[in-house]
Amino acid sequence: MKILYIVSTLQRSGPINVLYNITRDLDVNDYVILTLSPEESEKSMKSDFEKLGSQIVALNLTRMVRKKQVLNNIKEVISSNNIEIIHSHGLRADYYASKIKEVAHFSTIHNYPYEDYPKIYGKVLGTFIAQAHMKIIKRINYPIACSYAIQKKFKRKKIELEVVQNGVDTKRFFRVTPDKKRQIREKLNLPTNHIILISTGMLIKRKRPIELVRGFNKFLLENQINDCTLMVLGSGNLEKQVQKEIKENVILLGNKKEVETYLQASDIFISNSSSEGLPMAALEALVTGLSTVLSDIDSHRELKLKSDEISLFKNDIEDMMEKIKIEYFEIKNNKQSREINMDFSSQIMSSSYLQKYKISQRRDN
In CATH, what number is assigned to the domain containing residue 276? 3.40.50.2000
Better pLDDT: 365 or 227 = 227
Question: How far is Cα 142 from Cα 87, in angstroms, rounded to an integer?
Answer: 9
Residue 327 lies inside a defined structural domain of this protein: yes
Q: Average pLDDT in the 3-22 region?
A: 93
Residue among 265, 270, 268 nearest 234 (CA): 270
Phi, psi of 355 (to 5 degrees): -65, -40
Tell whether 152 and 129 lie within a shared domain: yes
pLDDT digits (tens, 9 = 90+) for 96-124: 999 999 999 999 999 999 999 998 999 99
- The answer, yes or no, to whether residue 10 has pLDDT greater than 90, is yes
Residue 196 lies inside a defined structural domain of this protein: yes
pLDDT of residue 363: 75
Q: How many domains does the chain have?
A: 2
- The answer, yes or no, to whether residue 338 has pLDDT greater than 70, is no
Residue 115 lies inside a defined structural domain of this protein: yes
Q: Is 113 exposed, middle or buried (0-12, 13-18, 19+ CB in 10 A)?
A: buried
- What is the SS3 assignment for 198? strand
Tell whether 285 and 217 lie within a shared domain: yes
Contacts (Cβ under 8 Å, ≥6 apart) of 269: 197, 198, 199, 200, 263, 281, 282, 285, 286, 290, 291, 292, 293
Residue 172 lies inside a defined structural domain of this protein: no
Q: What is the dihedral of CA 181, 193, 319, 342, to 10 degrees?
A: 10
Residue 173 lies inside a defined structural domain of this protein: no
pLDDT digits (tens, 9 = 90+) for 242-286: 999 999 899 999 999 899 999 999 999 999 999 999 899 999 999
Question: How far is Cα 236 from Cα 233, in angstroms, rounded to an integer?
Answer: 11
- The answer, yes or no, to whether residue 336 has pLDDT greater than 60, is no
Residue type present at position 317: I
Q: Average pLDDT in the 39-43 region?
A: 77
pLDDT digits (tens, 9 = 90+) for 154-213: 999 999 999 999 999 988 999 999 999 999 999 999 999 999 999 999 999 999 999 999
Residue 360 lies inside a defined structural domain of this protein: yes
Parent domain of 16: 3-167+345-364
Confidence of residue 300 (pLDDT cuts 50, 70, 90): very high
Contacts (Cβ under 8 Å, ≥6 apart) of 56: 10, 32, 33, 34, 35, 46, 49, 50
Residue type present at position 199: S
Residue among 246, 253, 266, 278 nearest 165 (CA): 278
pLDDT digits (tens, 9 = 90+) for 58-74: 999 887 788 999 999 99
Residue 270 lies inside a defined structural domain of this protein: yes
Instruction: Please state the pTM of the whole predicted model.
Output: 0.87
